[in-house]
């Protein structure tokens, strides 16, 4: 691994740590800012991904759609409160071409309801495409491919 690729992996790891902290701290208004203006976000079952089927639990195709999702999370959706904790593995840089960096990282998200035990919320891998901007790395695409065959009945917060 070259020094440049290693430094890029470190930068992506820092990005993922900041991304996870924003979600775990419920700073949902910050979440769309991790994406380029034309960024896309998907939460998709591994079975569909492996079969190249497009169906996703969540499919947001612009930053505007992400902001609408944040509005729904913070203003209109009623649900029992819970905390999340993201654990993200080291990034693996898969490819670099024409200013786009493809990377993957495994993730596990745990959910804790106040006064209750923690449970596994979602486990899988991020399949990402990053672009370099003057403000640093931004996601042009994040596909959260989850391994779980059963999804908890309230996939509200971003993964």
CATH code at 3-146: 3.10.450.50
Share of the chain above pLDDT 90, in %: 84
154 pLDDT exceeds 80? no
> For residue range 111-127, what is the model confidence (pLDDT) as tens digits?
999 999 999 999 999 99
Tell me the CA distances in angstroms from 103 to 16, 25, 57, 107, one per residue in order.
Answer: 11, 25, 22, 13
Helix (H, G, I), strand (E, B), or coil: what is residue 147?
coil
pLDDT at 156: 87
pLDDT at 105: 98
pLDDT at 153: 67
- Which DSSP string corresponds to 116-131? S-EEEEEEEEEEEEEE
> For residue range 102-115, what is the model confidence (pLDDT) as tens digits?
999 999 999 999 99
């Amino acid at each position: 691994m070259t020094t440049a690729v290693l430094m890029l992996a470190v930068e992506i790891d820092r990005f993922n740590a900041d991304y996870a902290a924003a979600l775990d701290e419920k700073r949902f208004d910050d979440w769309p800012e991790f994406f380029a203006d034309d960024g896309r976000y998907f939460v998709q079952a591994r079975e569909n991904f492996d079969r190249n089927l497009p169906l996703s639990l969540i499919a947001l195709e612009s930053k505007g759609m992400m902001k609408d999702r944040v509005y729904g999370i913070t203003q209109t959706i009623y649900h029992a409160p819970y905390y999340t904790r993201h654990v993200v593995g080291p990034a693996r840089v898969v490819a670099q071409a024409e200013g786009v960096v493809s990377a993957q990282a495994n993730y596990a998200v745990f959910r804790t309801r106040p006064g209750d035990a923690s449970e596994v919320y979602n486990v899988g891998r991020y399949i990402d495409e990053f672009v370099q901007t003057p403000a640093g790395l931004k996601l042009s695409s994040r596909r959260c491919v989850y391994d779980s065959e059963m999804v908890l009945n309230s996939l509200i917060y971003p993964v």
